[in-house]
Structure 1
Amino acid sequence: MNEHATLNASVFSQLRQDILTGRLRPGERLRAETLRQRYDVGGSPVREALMRLETEGFVVLEENKGFRVADASVAHLQDLSRTRIEIEALALKWSIAKGGVDWESSIVASMHRLASVPKHLDAAGHEHNADWLRYHREFHAALVAACDSAVLLGIRNRLFDQAERYVALSITAGGEVRDDVAEHQALMEAVLSRDTELALALNRRHLERTTKKLLAALEAGANL
């Protein structure tokens, strides 16, 4: 990869991460000059990053107004969650059918990492642990890694990113207290025992509980 391509990839990654983590808020205007100063780059990498993010659904281009961060809404979250549950179920089903010993080992290792760190950095639960978020992503990716479909995984990963943006935006939301380790442990055990029906049911329940919390935050007028 040449220097120009490396710079473009870096700006894209930084801008994407700022949107996913909520540092750039839903509806916020994305002015090229401001972004150039933010990432200390020229205009070309910023324009390319914005266009790529538009295709991923994280950025919206409005005529005569320019780019802005895509909105967060109850309707979008509901649509996203329904679709994600079905796609995750298909990818998980195929992985259970096709996965081998290496796949099983990666799931066990990712579960160990996930259980090794706290979800929040503060007692009030207002600040997510970046390591937990990364290990959480890796665990769920490991579950479906053996599905043997690059197309399906591409769709699945895009939906996961969209959902994670809502999670990051709702870190101060209340709701039920969950035993995250136990939920993921039970899901892992069902997958490794090749109990497809139970694994799919646990995965659906896991995603639906998260969605319920996020919807409650949105409907309560959380500052998203």
Structure 2
Amino acid sequence: MPILLSISVVPPILYMIWFRNSERYEREPWGSVWKMFLWGGVAGVILALIFEVFVQSLFSESAFATVLGPALFMSVIVAPLVEEFTKPLGLRFVRSQINELEDGLIYGAAAGLGFAATENIVYVLHSVAEGGFSAGIMTGVVRAVSSTLLHGSATAITGYGLSMVIVGKKSFGKVIGCFLAAALMHGVFNLTLELQMRYEFSALFALILVTLFTISTAFFVRNRIKRLDKDTGEERVS
């Protein structure tokens, strides 16, 4: 059990440290970063479950859901929209700490990674129940380089929208735009996996696709943090 929990939780924590330490100037306080991680892993998950059940009950008989099918509708439409809505809600509790554009990226990533940690535990334990210990380990390893990075990167983008409003004095439309971009990323990720299962094309090919996608988005977020941090630091020096 300790190994299974470690493989579920340690990668998200390491990624959180990686994102947070991408800043060179005025790094975010650990207390606030951990607060967002715990928000995502507890409140974010609970709220997502509640909203997903509610939305499913409202739209499960709709023409759209019927055309897509229940599984595709929930995975590609409902889950991305709901989860990318609930994960960054906790950023309101660290609003006072968001005084630089990159801060929203860091806190958003922390919330998303906390969500991923809890989701990892659920999927790893389910795999153990279905296929044994080795299946659980494999699930944990695969999720460490795919779903975990997706959750962190997607929610970071919504957080960036929030910091553009708070720090950059942009309109709230920036948050909505970033939220929709995050949900689209999430939906494309889930769609790739759903299509692999539906049409039974190479699982390895699908895994490579989503892994390249999530690693690319993670480095995009990290590089954006570093770029914004450098610009802010240079402004202070000058």
- TM superposition score category, shorter chain reference: 0.3 to 0.5
Query: Normalization by structure 1: what TM-score?
Result: 0.34
TM superposition score normalised by structure 2 = 0.33
Identify, as 1 or 2, the structure richer in helix: 2
**Greater relative contact order, per chain length (Cα 8 Å cut-off, separation 6+):** 2
